[in-house]
Structure 1
């Protein structure tokens, strides 16, 4: 015989409460005493009850659909892991709460991105938005989303947005500072820095922390060489070529993400520079790529998946609370330096090797 699946009424009967109370417990609703909540959860476990998500959606009229926006020019080289890491983390968080996740690529450099994002809300198929940079750096966009009564949580938001909507991320300025302090302790004094996208607040924060550490150590920040990348592997190649063309005593190249660091390492290898014997290279994010390149990359660990999972948790809490906006506060998650073989104390020969112009990578 086929055993009948337990229903919400079975849970109510076993726990000795009303059906509506069971529903509030399942949906993490308010006004349920801890003792009652515990009794209902024990009944759910004993019966092996599982929520019928489709039935619940039909009953509430809620699509249970969360949209993750990420910046992407589909014609350009993608970031190898950051966006997929966010998607994996958000997907985990959504699945835990019975929500569906949709990802939407929006080109920040093109016109009409604000209208496109707002169209997701107006379609009625979006219960909430997760906004990573650079969209989380746009106070006007966030205000428009909230004015449309759409719950939103921002990832790695700038100061202006942190005062408007809930957000989560690492302390990028402190992370950049910590990396610089680590390199200074190794003995590096002449450094190059490959920046991220101009105006990208998280990336700018990393560089600001780097500069602060140099100043505190009595190193003139103007002595460091800066090049502007865009987070892609290709921009890491191009910026490193620029840095090595001058070759003014640089002993370490600091990159604002791991993809650009991989490009920097390729250029160093092509020019016959030993890493870290002739020059050190460090990155940021601790993506899976950083542990499989050669030599393995010293980098800053940013828990990308955990940040996105937590963002989904915060967003679902808003939605289940009737869409009421959470207090505008930023939740910091921890970062740490991951020491691998791409960085070491500078040797006496580091920074003085010359690069022939004809050997450059075009």
Structure 2
């Protein structure tokens, strides 16, 4: 068995001290570029892999970040996780995940016990946990750095990232109107998620701008799950005056709408246009592929992690709260309105 490469081996090859190697690996400031180049070259030549636990013992750090989530959409969480892992790995941090139920009355006690049993340097909060003020208070009391993804409340001074959900939903609704649709149904997301209100606001804004009345009969409450998309679709498509387009607040629900339309022998998009939100994998795995809003989920996970590591290292960040743009992805589930359908 080959001998494990150590930090001493890196230092010897680079011709620098072990302390210098440690400073470069920990990305500490004020290390001369020439020293950084020597250390990085030696690390590459030796294929040296730093041991996070050993680094933690020397610097009172674990080099572990925790992703806390309570979200029914696995595709969304996977993309956030991948973005967080990418950035964490690039900066020498490992990622652990902890799923929890935001409705559990023992949530704070459960998270507190986890934090004590599994030490970490910082926490990433996804919605709706990113708006849980009790949870935020717990982290601040314990002195654990954190960042928030897509929070609704931005009053207190904590780093966060998000996307412009209202504008994106407005743009999608406007696109559907441009196709000639005036009876556009809307399936809301989970009521506990802040992005639900933002997306609904964008939908209403577009209707108002084009002088289309808000029809409560074709607005349904979903929960970001495939099953809730099915349930809402059955209610909408059972109506005498069926909508010609259904805009669901995420792709899982849009896929549920697509399933029900097929069961009812409705042609998509000839009889019914369907739009989703997020641009997760399911939007391309069904047929017809779903027109959707591409939310930069991977980027949100990556940038939330980058901000968290900056906070851990007590570095400054120009923008404490960053909002990223979304884009429309037009696929086969949308087309010009066929007004003779109803």
The alpha-carbon deviation at position 306 of structure 1 amounts to 2.9
Deviations 1:123-168 (A, max 9, x none): 352221111111112234223312321011111111x246431111
2:265 paired residue number: 272
Residue equivalent to 1:333:
324
Residue equivalent to 1:120: 114
Q: Which residue is 2:334 aligned to? A: 343
SS at match of 1:29: coil
Partner of residue 86, structure 2: 92
* Cα distance, 1:175–1:15 mapped onto 2, change above 3 Å: same
What TM-score, normalized to structure 2? 0.89
- After superposing the two structures, state which structure 1 stretch, 2-11 or 19-28, moved more: 2-11
Gaps of 5+ in 1: 73-77, 353-362
Say if 1:47 and 1:237 are closer, same or farther in 2 by CA, change over 3 A.
closer
**1:158-307, aligned counterparts within 5 Å?**
158=152, 160-161=153-154, 163-222=156-215, 225-307=218-300
Check the 8 A contact 2:125/2:146 in 1, yes or no: yes
Partner Cα distance (1:265, 1:205) in 2 = 24
* Residue in 1 that maps onto 2:124: 130
Name the stretch that deviates more: 252-261 or 328-337: 328-337
Shift of 1:240: 1.2
Select 1:312's aligned residue among 282, 289, 305: 305
- The question of whether the paired residues in 2 share the 8 Å contact of 1:194 and 1:253 is answered with yes
Decide whether the 8 Å contact of 1:120 with 1:126 is kept in 2: no
In structure 2, what is the Cα distance between the partners aligned to 1:84 and 1:163? 28
Moved more, 84-93 or 230-239: 84-93
Q: Count residues in correspondence.
A: 342
Question: What's the CA shift string for 1:86-142, capped at 9, x where partnerless?
Answer: 233323333333333222121122211122223333335222111111111223422
Gaps of 5+ in 2: none
Deviation digits for residues 182-206 of structure 1 (CA, Å, limit 9, x no counterpart): 1122121111000011131112111
* Distance (whole Å) between structure 2 residues aligned to residue 146 and residue 171 of structure 1: 27
Q: TM-score, normalised by structure 1?
A: 0.85
Moved more, 215-224 or 111-120: 215-224
- Closer, same or farther in 2 for the Cα pair 1:64/1:274, shift >3 Å? same
Q: Deviations over 1:270-294 (max 9, x none)?
A: 1111111111111011111111211
Q: Which secondary structure state, in structure 1, belongs to the residue aligned with residue 339 of structure 2?
A: coil
Contact conserved, 2:67 with 2:123, CA < 8 A, in 1? yes
- Asked if the contact 1:190–1:223 (Cα under 8 Å) also holds between the matched residues in 2, the reply is no
* 8 Å CA contact 1:164, 1:328 repeated in 2: no
